[in-house]
Structure 1
Amino acid sequence: MKVLAVSSIGGHWIQLLRLMPAFEDVTVEFMSTKQSFSTMVDGKKFYSIPDGNRWNKYGLVKCFFAILKVVETSKPDIIITTGAAPGLIALFIGKLFSIKTIWVDSIANCEQISMSGKIATKVADVVYTQWGHLEDNKVKFFGNVLG
Structure 2
Amino acid sequence: MKTKTMKVVAIASGGGHWIQLQRIVPAFAGHDVSYISTHPSFAATVPGHAFYAVPDASRWNKVKLLKVGYELFRLISTIKPDVIISTGAAPGLMALLAGKLTGARTIWLDSIANIEKISMSGQIALRFADRTYTQWPKLATDKVQFAGNVLS
* Counterpart for residue 76 of structure 1: 81
Query: Structure 1 residue 58: deviation in Å?
Result: 2.3
Of residues 62, 66, 69, the one that matches 1:61 is: 66
Of residues 23, 29, 38, the one that matches 2:28 is: 23
TM-score (norm: length of structure 2): 0.94
What is the one-letter code of the residue matched to 2:125? A
Q: Find the aligned partners of 1:103 and 1:139 in 2 and give their Cα distance.
A: 10
Query: Structure 1 residue 25: deviation in Å?
Result: 1.6
Task: Give the number of equivalent residue pairs.
Answer: 147
Q: Find the aligned partners of 2:48 and 2:116 in 1 and give their Cα distance.
A: 37
* Counterpart for residue 113 of structure 1: 118
Q: Report SS of the residue matched to 2:71.
A: helix
Q: Find the aligned partners of 1:31 and 1:115 in 2 and give their Cα distance.
A: 21
Measured against aligned partners, the alpha-carbon deviations of 1:93-122 in whole angstroms (never above 9, x if no partner) come to 111112100000000001111111011110
Q: Find the aligned partners of 1:138 and 1:80 in 2 and give their Cα distance.
A: 17
Segments of 5+ residues of structure 2 without an aligned counterpart are 1-5
What is the one-letter code of the residue matched to 1:19? I
Q: Which runs of 4+ in 1 moved over 6 A?
A: none
Q: Report SS of the residue matched to 2:58.
A: coil
Q: Find the aligned partners of 2:53 and 2:133 in 1 and give their Cα distance.
A: 25
Percent identity reads 55
Q: Report SS of the residue matched to 1:122.
A: coil
* Counterpart for residue 4 of structure 1: 9
TM-score (norm: length of structure 1): 0.97
* Counterpart for residue 3 of structure 2: none
Equivalent residues of 1:5, 1:80 under 8 A apart: yes
Q: Report SS of the residue matched to 1:50.
A: coil
